[in-house]
């Protein structure tokens, strides 16, 4: 039934042109059932879906199978970094391009909402944030368009936490802290979105491709399993007959 449907489709074209500038036809033999599953997984990986989440969605027994969708060549990664480093902003949304690809990579520590250049945190690989990852209030925070989905997810999480704080009747300074973070992160999103909107279409396409590559790299670098708290073993009570 699938083959009959594919064969009955109007003429399909790729986005590649021949020497005369005509679009080349798409090879219909490449449309088969598994291709839909593969495309579904690859699009998730390209969008930066976490490894464990995609593994569950695909029902893979091993994370190694899922990891195949996150592989990025060093050349592709280098080009993505070279593109993205020029579109970095500070916490106020002001342009703050990274001086080199090496500097960008050095700042790419385990901070989910943007790169960090705070020396002690960089040295600790992102595990020594002096203000507990309230990135939007930090002078060392350096986000860029590739972090937009993560920042927007964090804003939604902060809003949910703020409502929970209100429901619990917490002190006003707790609610105010959430509101200040939301406003600050939203300013970052607005600034980045505005920067993207005014770009020429070709530049915007390259930026989106670079963003997808870097999100995929970060997702692949995430821990394959969630940390588990150690549970001490309790010795069984000895039998009175022993």
Containing domain of residue 37, as a range? Answer: 26-71
Domain annotation covers residue 9:
no
**Based on the domain organization, do 144 and 213 belong to the same domain?**
yes
**Based on the domain organization, do 85 and 60 belong to the same domain?**
no
Domain annotation covers residue 234:
no
Among 4-8, 119-123, 186-190, the range of highest mean pLDDT = 186-190
**Based on the domain organization, do 100 and 208 belong to the same domain?**
yes
Q: What is the pLDDT of residue 220?
A: 72
Residues in the chain: 242
Q: What's this model's pTM, rounded to 2 decimal places? A: 0.68
**Based on the domain organization, do 85 and 196 belong to the same domain?**
yes
Q: What is the pLDDT of residue 186?
A: 95
What's the token pair of residue 157?
Answer: 């999480």
Is the pLDDT at 46 greater than 80? The verdict is: no
Where residue 232 falls among pLDDT bands split at 50, 70, 90?
very low
Domain annotation covers residue 82:
yes
**Based on the domain organization, do 60 and 174 belong to the same domain?**
no
Q: What is the pLDDT of residue 204?
A: 92
Is the pLDDT at 218 greater than 50? The verdict is: yes
91-139 pLDDT per residue, tens = 998 999 999 998 898 888 767 788 998 888 888 888 888 888 788 899 9
Domain annotation covers residue 10:
no
**Based on the domain organization, do 199 and 123 belong to the same domain?**
yes
**Based on the domain organization, do 112 and 92 belong to the same domain?**
yes
**Based on the domain organization, do 88 and 151 belong to the same domain?**
yes
Distance between CA atoms of 87 and 64, rounded to whole angstroms? 33
Where residue 231 falls among pLDDT bands split at 50, 70, 90?
very low
Is the pLDDT at 228 greater than 70? The verdict is: no
Distance between CA atoms of 171 and 67, rounded to whole angstroms? 44
**Based on the domain organization, do 57 and 97 belong to the same domain?**
no
Domain annotation covers residue 90:
yes
**Based on the domain organization, do 38 and 86 belong to the same domain?**
no
**Based on the domain organization, do 38 and 104 belong to the same domain?**
no
Residues 184-211 have a mean pLDDT of: 93
Question: b/e per residue, 71-89, with b = 16+ CB within 10 A?
Answer: ebeeeebebbbebbbebbb
**Based on the domain organization, do 63 and 87 belong to the same domain?**
no
Q: What is the overall mean pLDDT for the chain?
A: 85
Q: What is the pLDDT of residue 226?
A: 37
Number of domains the chain contains: 2
Nearest to 32 by CA among 59, 57, 54, 4: 4
Domain annotation covers residue 2:
no
Domain annotation covers residue 169:
yes
- Beta-carbon-side half-sphere exposure of residue 208 (alpha carbons within 13 Å): 10
Domain annotation covers residue 51:
yes
Q: Which one of 44, 71, 98 terminates a domain?
A: 71
């Amino acid at each position: 039934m699938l083959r009959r449907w594919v064969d009955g489709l109007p003429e399909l074209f790729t986005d590649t042109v021949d020497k005369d500038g005509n679009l080349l036809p798409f090879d219909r033999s490449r449309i088969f059932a598994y291709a839909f599953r593969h495309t579904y997984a690859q699009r998730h990986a390209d969008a930066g879906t976490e490894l464990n989440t995609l593994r569950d969605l695909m029902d893979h027994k091993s994370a190694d199978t899922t990891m195949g969708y996150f592989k990025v060549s060093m050349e592709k990664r280098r080009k993505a970094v070279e593109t993205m480093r020029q579109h970095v902003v500070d916490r106020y949304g002001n342009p703050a391009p990274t001086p080199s690809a090496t500097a960008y990579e050095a700042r790419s520590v385990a901070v989910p909402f943007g790169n960090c250049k705070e020396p002690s945190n960089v040295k600790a690989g992102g595990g020594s944030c002096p203000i507990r990852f309230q990135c939007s209030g930090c002078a060392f925070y350096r986000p860029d368009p590739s972090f937009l989905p993560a920042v927007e997810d964090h804003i939604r999480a902060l809003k949910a936490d703020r409502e929970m704080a209100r429901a619990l009747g917490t002190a006003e300074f707790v609610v105010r802290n959430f509101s200040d973070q939301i406003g600050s992160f939203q300013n970052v999103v607005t600034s980045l979105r505005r920067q993207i909107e005014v770009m020429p279409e070709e530049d915007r396409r390259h930026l989106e491709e670079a963003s997808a590559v870097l999100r995929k790299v970060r997702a692949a670098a995430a821990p394959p399993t969630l940390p588990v708290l150690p549970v001490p073993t309790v010795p069984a009570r000895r039998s009175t007959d022993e």
